[in-house]
Amino acid sequence: MIPASHYLILSALLVTIGVIGVLTRRNILIIFMSIELILNAANINLIAFSRQLQDVIGQVFAVFVITVAAAEAAIGLGIVIALFRNRETINADEIDLLKG
Amino acid sequence: MEQLIFYSLAGATVLFGMLVVIARNPVHSAIFLIGALMCIAGLYLQMGAEFVGGVQILVYVGGVMVLFLFVIMLVNVRTAERVRQLSPEWKTALLLAGALSVELVYLVLKGPGVFATAAPEAIPALQGNTQNVGAALYTKYLLPFEIASVLLLVAMIGAVALARSRMD
């Protein structure tokens, strides 16, 4: 059996990669994909502890996280389309309507 | 054998994740993300969570990523590819991410004293995984399950309302 700490290290790596993507990239679609990576890292933790503790609730929670991720992707991509229609850009640095 | 499967899947996941962040073209990013998600689904199977693995492939690879690819095709990728890819504060960002990873590794290494991280001795007793998850979803966690369905409805209406063209 693989110890749970291996899964934790894997998910820590994935979170770091996702955070680097969110913070350094300017393409809004790639920022979204990095957010998906972060959510998946959280899911790996949930499933690993579900196996560790022999409790099914971790898997139930992972299903809810996947649901929220799907809703988030739908809304976010809708915003991207509306934004592209109005501003002709998907560059995060050019989207500064709220900047005073 | 189990170790071989885990380490190859984990390595492939990290590699694909890095490629997602590095790739210049968003289409390539999406394809690499599909690879990473498939590897993670394999990890779920390896951990004995068949139901979540199936949901991962159906919802993520079959639904979310197709949506991503459609939106990438709708917005003009060519213009996005020509501008500078990195935000001006990328050095600070890398510093912060490095601090975050140090923090996470410290917590994981400190972990054994706080929570159990050793491999469980017994073979998982959660036989009939889909049955177990379904029973938990429809009995103990029925209310969150119904709230999730309302959330999906709200998300659907919101996405349609945001993305429709102005007819009025």
For B125-160, the pLDDT digits (tens) are 556 688 888 888 899 999 999 999 999 999 999 999
Could you tell me the residue range of the domain that residue A76 belongs to? Answer: 28-89
d(CA B117, CA A81): 44
Asked if CATH classification 1.20.120.1200 holds for the domain at B1-82, the reply, yes or no, is: yes
Structural domain spans, chain B: 1-82, 131-168
Local confidence band at B90 (pLDDT 50, 70, 90 cut-offs)? confident
Buried b (16+ CB within 10 A) or exposed e, A8-40: bbbbbbbbbbbbbbbbbbbbbbbbbbbbbbbbb
Is A6 a domain residue? no
Q: Which of B20, B40, B117 is opposite residue A21, by nearest beta carbon?
A: B20
- pTM here? 0.88
Is A38 a domain residue? yes
B97, A4: Cβ pair inside 8 Å? no
pLDDT at B118: 61
pLDDT at B168: 55
Smallest CA–CA separation between A97 and chain B, in Å? 17
**Residue B128: left (phi > 0), alpha (psi -120 to 50), or beta?**
left
A37, B36: Cβ pair inside 8 Å? yes
Q: Which residues of A touch B96 (CB under 8 A)?
A: 19, 23
Best interface-test mutation with A: which of B47, B106, B152, B165 has the largest number of A CBs within 10 A?
A: B47
Q: For B2-11, how does the pLDDT look when each residue is reduced to its tens digit (9 = 90+)? A: 889 999 999 9
Q: How many domains does chain A have?
A: 1
Give me the mean pLDDT over the B74-103 stretch: 80
d(CA A54, CA B142): 21
